[in-house]
Structure 1
Amino acid sequence: MSLDSLSGRIERKYIEMMRSKGIDLNDLILMSDSELSKELGVDREVAREILREVSSLLLRPLTADKLLEEESRLRTGIEGLDELLGGGLRIRTITGIYGPPASGKTQFCIYMTVRSLLNEERGGISSERAVFIDTEGTFDPGRASAFLRQNGLSERDLSRIDVLRVNNIIQLKEALEIAMSYVRSGTSKLICLDSISYPFRQYGGLKGLRERQEDLQEVLVSLRRIADRGSVVIMTMHAIKWGRDLYSKGGFVLSHTPHNMLCFRKVRGKVIVTLEDSSYLPPGQAAFIVRDDGIIGL
């Protein structure tokens, strides 16, 4: 259905305003009245009425068996880790990964970006392109090439990975808009953000705490919208120091917005992965090693 389905339910001028802003029905399902009010420049009561009509038009129950049919997964191909994740990273979910520097987070993120390009028979999700949002300048095409070879792909497939290098909050928000356009068009089924916390370094001390948390909440809401919008897997990285937990790094919203939260730590050359929190999986552990020729499960 299109915005024209709202004809007769709301004033035509609001339909045209939304069309000019690039807002469609799927966007409206995920928007709050305050967000729609701000986007259109209208009173919140007008925004509420629009959203009420959208809900009346679109809100229908979906049986659990239909949801089960849609539960495709991006397999890691790593022995033990796929079992820990219930078969792999599920579409329409956000997986947060945190740990100290040099614990394997970025390597794993690049590896899974490559894996998303594989077809379903080989454990991938047939993503035409993959989006890697790089806030720390850590994306290494050389490592991507090694992971491509490990997974039976060629260096030509590097052209299917789109890297967005961002340096601040404004650029990060714009990058998420670009990522959303990929998902809308069906071009990309994986988005990796490495790291989500680094752009927020511009806020220092308690003085900027409120603004930081508001911006962080906006970014996380955008990620949830992208995840809910279509068949996409989202991964976010967070670097912390030993002795600090994830809550102290980004508060409640950063530690509880993802559907799954994985902790990475390196012990004697092995990357120990702990599933600390999940909305649908029990806790547990797995391990892998990073070699020149790829990532190998233990």
Structure 2
Amino acid sequence: MTVQKDSDNHECVKNVVVNSSLRNVATSACELSNLLMECSRNVQCWIVKGMFCHRCYSSSMFQLLVQSSNMQMMEQIVPRQDDQIKLNDYEVPSIHKIMSQHEHVLLNMNFYQDIELLQGHGINVADIKKLLGVGICTIKGIMMTTRKRLCDVKGLSEAKVDKIKEVACKLLNNGFITALEVTERRKLCYRISTGSRDLDKLLGGGIESQAITEVFGEFRTGKTQLSHTLCVMCQIASETSNFKGGKVIYIDTENTFRPDRLRQINERFKMDQEAMLDNILYARAYTSDHQMELLDFVAAKFHEELGIFKLLIVDSIMALFRVDYSGRGELAERQQKLAQMLSRLQKIAEEYNVAVFITNQMTADPGAGMTFQADPKKPVGGHILAHASTTRIMLKKGRGETRIAKIYDSPDLPENEATFAIATIGITDAKE
């Protein structure tokens, strides 16, 4: 990257070149978008003399990048088939300072590297389509998938899988990074408000992206009501953070999804009702296998509309597993299948920087009396689910329409409680 002064003493970036591994200047469209947004606060004008966009930047993602940066297109975007993205002659005041502030982040970010990058490294189009068919759409997605699962993809031999893994490893440049770099990466995380300020405070601001948030409780504790409220809240830009809102995918396993309830909740925010509903993609899962298959579609959709979807809801995670695997003799198989699903959810959350929100049921604990536990009930799913969830929240009934939320387990939140209410307008603060 070279920086020169123009006739008005503005700094101009000349001939910024990003190679196919996207490690030289900007390795993330998400990060580049944030960078351009920061630039655009003081930008008088953008002059685009030429831009060439690599295939790994899909048209929908590039459109999002342009919109979020207030960038005006002066010339048509011309796709190229080679291994470069070229950004020429952007007139940006003080961009050199901004680039230097972000450079150490940009060198390590690897979000959204399209799987089609493999094409330039000896992997044919037919094999890439096979990977896309099972929901593996990014280079990071390949690294998150075991060799065994890749070998199970019809038409992929062990030799091909080894080659794909080798290429992905080179492109992703996997390895250790410093805690400072992890801190910078986590700045990309966002939180979605629950609708209750007290509950948001308990959760450190809301439902976190790149993580699985699990809520569990008895019937009528507000699990599905919280899910519906999040569908609406996810579409609202935050006034206190960098969250701009986005679309939702809702997987329903108990047939409790109600669009009319969403309309009621939306009365509080006065968004266009049809537009609000159109931003929620719904699927009814009928078996645990179907539930797993839907995640392949979810990954493909997140890849197709990069940066557009912000929340994935599964209500509830265990309902179909309890039906399909009912006896003790099937418990081991159930837990194995459950572990595979939760692993897939974790990878989706991290790969696409989305928030994953799951609800869970409770069951009687026959051994509670012998250990003098205060509550004879426990969440379903055992240790597999307990270890997979990033944050676990227990919901309990309070007086009337009030409910109590307690942090049951979290890597960064202290054990605490908050009270909220279920109203016609959704989840809200409890009245004193």
TM-score (norm 1): 0.88
Pick closer, same or farther for the CA change 1:281–1:48 going to 2, 3 Å. Answer: farther
Offset at residue 77 of structure 1 (A): 3.5
User: Could you report, residue by residue, the CA deviation over 1:199-250 in whole angstroms, capped at 9, with x for unpaired residues?
Assistant: 111211122112211221121112112101113111001111453312xx21
Offset at residue 57 of structure 1 (A): 2.6
Matched, 1:245 2:245: no
Specify which structure has the higher proportion of helix: 1
Alignment-derived partner of residue 168 in structure 1: 287
Alignment-derived partner of residue 27 in structure 1: 141
Aligned partners of 1:80 and 1:287 also within 8 Å = yes
User: How big is the alpha-carbon RMSD for the aligned residues of Structure 1 and Structure 2?
Assistant: 2.4
User: Could you list the runs of 5+ residues in structure 2 that have no partner in the other structure?
Assistant: 1-112, 365-375
Aligned partners of 1:76 and 1:123 also within 8 Å = no
Aligned partners of 2:195 and 2:427 also within 8 Å = no
The code of the aligned residue for 2:316 comes to: S
Alignment-derived partner of residue 191 in structure 1: 312
Offset at residue 159 of structure 1 (A): 2.3
Aligned partners of 2:204 and 2:413 also within 8 Å = yes
Alignment-derived partner of residue 288 in structure 1: 420
TM-score (norm 2): 0.63
Q: Higher mean Cα deviation, 187-196 or 44-53?
A: 44-53
Offset at residue 127 of structure 1 (A): 4.4
SS in structure 1 of the partner of residue 270 of structure 2: coil
Pick closer, same or farther for the CA change 1:176–1:213 going to 2, 3 Å. Answer: same
Aligned partners of 2:130 and 2:154 also within 8 Å = no
Structure with max Cα Rg = 2
Offset at residue 18 of structure 1 (A): 3.0
Matched, 1:59 2:173: yes
Offset at residue 42 of structure 1 (A): 4.7
SS in structure 2 of the partner of residue 120 of structure 1: coil
The code of the aligned residue for 2:427 comes to: I
**Overall identity of the aligned pairs, in %:** 25
Matched, 1:259 2:390: yes
Aligned partners of 2:127 and 2:156 also within 8 Å = no
Select which of 294, 300, 307 maps to 1:181: 300
SS in structure 2 of the partner of residue 137 of structure 1: coil
Pick closer, same or farther for the CA change 1:212–1:101 going to 2, 3 Å. Answer: same
| In 2: Cα distance, 1:111 partner to 1:88 partner | 12
The code of the aligned residue for 1:297 comes to: D
User: Could you report, residue by residue, the CA deviation over 1:111-165 in whole angstroms, capped at 9, with x for unpaired residues?
Assistant: 0111001123377944442111111011122221121112332322122222211
Counterparts of residues 65-144 of structure 1 (less than 5 Å): 65-121=183-239, 125-144=243-262
Report how many aligned residue pairs link the two structures.
Answer: 294
Offset at residue 259 of structure 1 (A): 0.8
User: Could you report, residue by residue, the CA deviation over 1:65-107 in whole angstroms, capped at 9, with x for unpaired residues?
Assistant: 4224212211223122111111111211110111111111100
| In 1: Cα distance, 2:157 partner to 2:114 partner | 23
Counterparts of residues 27-46 of structure 1 (less than 5 Å): 27-40=141-154, 42=156
Matched, 1:202 2:320: no
Aligned partners of 1:6 and 1:53 also within 8 Å = yes
| In 2: Cα distance, 1:31 partner to 1:139 partner | 31
| In 2: Cα distance, 1:85 partner to 1:148 partner | 23
The code of the aligned residue for 1:152 comes to: K
Aligned partners of 1:74 and 1:124 also within 8 Å = no
Aligned partners of 1:114 and 1:147 also within 8 Å = yes
Alignment-derived partner of residue 43 in structure 2: none
